[in-house]
Amino acid sequence: MLFNQLGLSAELLRAVEEQGYTEATPIQSKAIPLVLDGQDVLAAAQTGTGKTAAFTLPLLQRLQQKTSGPRCIRALILTPTRELAAQVNESVQTYGKHRPVRSMEIYGGVSARPQISRIRRGVDVVIATPGRLLDHVRQGNINLSGVEILVLDEADRMLDMGFIRDIKQIIKELPAKRQNLLFSATFSQDIRNLANGLLNNPTEVQVAQRNTTAEKVKQVVMPVDKARKRELLSEQIGKGNWRQVLVFTRTKHGANRLAKQLNGDGIETSAIHGGKSQGARTTALRDFKAGKVRVLVATDIAARGLDIDKLPHVVNYELPHVAEDYVHRIGRTARAGQEGTAVSLVCVDELKLLNDIERLLTVEIRKEFVPGYEVDKRIRAEPITRGKPPRSGGQHPNSARQGARKKARAGGKSRPGKNSRGRSGRTHARAS
């Protein structure tokens, strides 16, 4: 279906045309008329199919209908990460360029003062991560009583990152009468439970089979011993003349180490993850998009929402713990109808993770055995641990905690660890 058949205004159609689009994607064709009609929508579509435009375009049109009264926040879009918030705000500004709509992004990792200043000057659309937004609410910096439209983007990821309590607190600040849109790359029972408590008689839109990947992503698995992964990756980048490569690792430590090694191989590389400052993340992404950096190594928490035009290669240097995250990772390529390649370097430790992915996708991914990198069948699989491994020759992870307890029992004092009262995971999620 063409965009000019969806009921969008002339100003929005002009902005869409300026971006080179004339034909809407399936999710856009189905969702836009429903949102324009004022309905609550529960939408699922594989990543890279245009979900952002599916809610930003009709949202902007519905905001155009107000002609008088003071400027207040009329639309709130919640996202799981800083990068996705920035991407969505860019889309709002791109498609709303011919309309007097003000938008801003709110997230942690940067000073709150400029955000407070922007809020006070008046804004129509706020795109925010839940943690920082809730901080502003609690400090009385922001008023959400005028919100007419609430959007939860990448809702599945927000649940994975533990934002459900923050989301519920934010919803309490909103007016009861509003339009609710929930967009997600995948559906799960948790998502449906959230939708049941949030949406009012929603229309469900699902344009692709659950947990499927874009058709134009060429997937391949390269079996290789863990100790030789970096060598194989460097060789593939060099021999294939790969110019723009997004590489995934499971941990921040692993991302930093791999980036350092690839730079040592003469391949310009940056790392992006939740432990980096927002300035460093923004610079790394900008340089990667501009071609100044050939390889960007990322963790899942930082990569959700990365929208890189015509990205040709995604590499799973390490398979994710959760099979659904594989779908999100490789969805960074082959976006908007483009073609792309997703390569997974798989060692014996990851065979179970690979089986989980293939079971989820209901397809066996093609294996490509690279000459000179034959797998040593004498190597036994080792368990994959979550988080940073203990240092060689150092204490067992629990030994420091046990020592603290002994010291406390002896009447001494000890400083509680980061996991005291279970807050470290929450702090990490909110900082992203």
Instruction: Find the helix packing angle between 424-431 and 130-138, rounded to 10°.
Output: 100
- Same structural domain, 23 and 135: yes
Domain residues for 268? 217-361
Per-residue pLDDT of the chain (432 residues; tens, 9 = 90+): 899 999 999 999 999 999 989 999 899 999 999 999 999 999 987 666 788 999 999 999 999 755 566 789 999 999 998 888 998 999 999 999 998 899 999 999 889 999 999 999 999 999 999 999 999 999 999 999 999 999 999 888 888 788 999 999 999 999 999 999 999 877 778 888 888 888 999 999 987 555 555 567 899 999 999 999 999 999 999 999 999 999 999 999 999 999 999 999 999 999 998 888 878 888 998 899 889 999 999 998 766 667 777 789 999 999 999 888 888 888 888 665 577 899 999 999 999 999 999 998 889 999 999 999 999 999 999 998 765 443 333 333 343 434 444 444 444 444 444 443 343 344 444 434
Tell me if 391 is assigned to some domain: no
Q: Six-digit token pair at 195?
A: 């939708």
Query: Long-range contacts of range 383-389, CB-CB < 8 Å, 24 or more positions apart?
Result: 383/349, 384/250, 384/321, 384/349, 384/350, 384/353, 386/250, 386/321, 387/251, 388/251, 388/252, 388/253
Q: Whole-prediction pTM value? A: 0.67
Question: Are residue 21 and residue 140 in the same domain, yes or no?
Answer: yes
Does any domain span residue 75? yes
Instruction: Please check whether residue 355 lies inside any domain of the structure.
Output: yes
Total domains in the fold of the chain = 2
* H helical segments located in 240-312: 252-264, 278-290, 300-303
Same domain membership, residue 229 and residue 173: no
Q: Are residues 265 and 346 in the same domain?
A: yes
Are 186 and 91 in the same domain?
yes
Contact 80, 157 (CB under 8 A): yes
Final residue in a domain of this structure, among 153, 178, 206: 206
Q: Which two tokens stand for residue 247?
A: 């590489």
Same domain, 84 and 161: yes
Whether 244 is covered by a domain: the verdict is: yes
Buried b (16+ CB within 10 A) or exposed e, 261-276: bbeeeebebbbbbbbb
Domain C-terminal end among 321, 342, 361: 361
Residue type, 176: A
Task: Let me know if residue 385 belongs to a domain.
Answer: no
What is the Cβ-side half-sphere exposure of residue 410, based on CA atoms within 13 angstroms?
9
